[in-house]
Structure 1
Amino acid sequence: MPKMKTKASCKKRFSFTASGKVKSAQAGKRHGMIKRSNKFIRNQRGTTILTESDARIIKGFMPNR
């Protein structure tokens, strides 16, 4: 049997917490900040935890984490 490989794109974009949840960067801050409110920009700082349904997909792409 060949080895299961980790998707390189997921390896770059996601990491795991100690409890096994998937951590990612906030979405929506690449461009177009003029039209966004200051509250939106402030709330998009840092990282976020993915929902369980999204996390299940990412965990399938990263079997060897």
Structure 2
Amino acid sequence: MKTAPNSFVGTRLGELVDAAGFMTHSCVTFTAQAAAEQHRAALATIGDLYAVVVPSSAELG
């Protein structure tokens, strides 16, 4: 179970990434961008089908 929105927490992923080589930064960047896009898509689906999606909890009053 993930307990943080960070793939490195509680794993050896950082060590493996460091050992992987020069282009790793691109992989991490594109993975983060894909995750952000999936998040936006999920919010759009929730907004279309189930609920009102607001930008922040402050909007809830």
TM-score by length of 2: 0.29
Greater C-alpha radius of gyration: 2
Q: Which has the higher strand share?
A: 1
TM-score by length of 1: 0.28
Q: Which has the higher helix share?
A: 2
Bigger relative contact order (CA 8 A; separation at least 6): 1
